[in-house]
Amino acid sequence: MMRMLRSLAATVILIAGLSGQSWLVLAGEKDVKELEEVSDAEKIKWARATKVSVTDAIKTATAHTPGQVIEAALHSIEGRLLFEVEVVTKDGKVVELYVDPQTGKLVELGDRK
């Protein structure tokens, strides 16, 4: 039941994001283009370029790093379209994981904070 709720919440976050809701970016991140910063035409392009659902991206991220998902969104990071999934681990750390929206695989970006 909890997984279903997390998946539903993440789907709602993405849908809300596509409708123009703002997402917070951590201070110091560079080259991150967020949904509210792009035109509707670019949002449509992003959606069409995505073969993996946000739900599947969350499953991939939490299989790698178990915890509570606090944000999941589609971003253009360093010129590359990626799902960013933020997870709070059981030891209280916030971890950002990146999932390729084409392949559904985790992507290493190095230390982003």
Give the C-alpha separation, 99 to 57, whole Å. Answer: 6
How many domains, the chain? 1
- Identify which has the larger pLDDT, 87 or 36: 87
Domain ranges, residue 99: 2-107
Asked whether residue 112 is domain-assigned, the answer is: no
Kindly state the percentage of the chain with pLDDT values over 90: 45
CATH number at residue 12: 3.10.450.40
- Identify which has the larger pLDDT, 8 or 46: 46
Asked whether residue 90 is domain-assigned, the answer is: yes
Asked whether residue 113 is domain-assigned, the answer is: no
CA nearest to 14, candidates 29, 35, 45? 35
- Predicted confidence band at 25 (pLDDT cuts at 50, 70, 90)? very low
- Predicted confidence band at 16 (pLDDT cuts at 50, 70, 90)? very low
Question: Per-residue pLDDT for 44 more than 80?
Answer: yes
